[in-house]
Amino acid sequence: MKRYVHWLRIYGVVSSLNEYRQYMEIAKYLKANPNAVATIWRYKYGCAVNRVVKLVCDENADTLGLRERCFSHSLRRMQHKPGEITNEKPFYIPAYVLREHEADS
């Protein structure tokens, strides 16, 4: 089966709840699609909390089961890999996001 690469931007400066929902949307997708693999990248310059996620899966852009640009969060799909990213790691939800969400709950 063909594998597709999607680049997603997580906006970390909107609100803690919004940021939490963006991470959780990707985590839910990974749980529901065990063949999907995600890595997380940070920007070399600029905002320290914005992240880019590379998602490799069996779904193309038209059938990708992610909610993007919806009312509850602002996860965005990018057209191509951004040039100013570095420090690739396996996908994770940062501890500060989980702490802030627990504090808001």
pTM score above 0.95 = no
What residues make up the domain containing 42?
4-104
CB-based contact 76:20 (threshold 8 Å):
no
**pLDDT per residue over 5-51, tens digit each?**
999 998 876 567 888 888 999 999 999 999 999 999 998 887 777 89
**pLDDT per residue over 38-47, tens digit each?**
999 998 887 7
What tokens appear for 93 in the block?
A: 């939800």
Task: Give the amino acid at 48.
Answer: A
Q: Whole-angstrom Cα distance, residue 25 to residue 67?
A: 7
CA proximity to 77, closest of 88, 63, 89, 92: 63
Q: Whole-angstrom Cα distance, residue 78 to residue 14?
A: 18
Q: How many domains does the chain have?
A: 1
Mean pLDDT on 93-98: 86
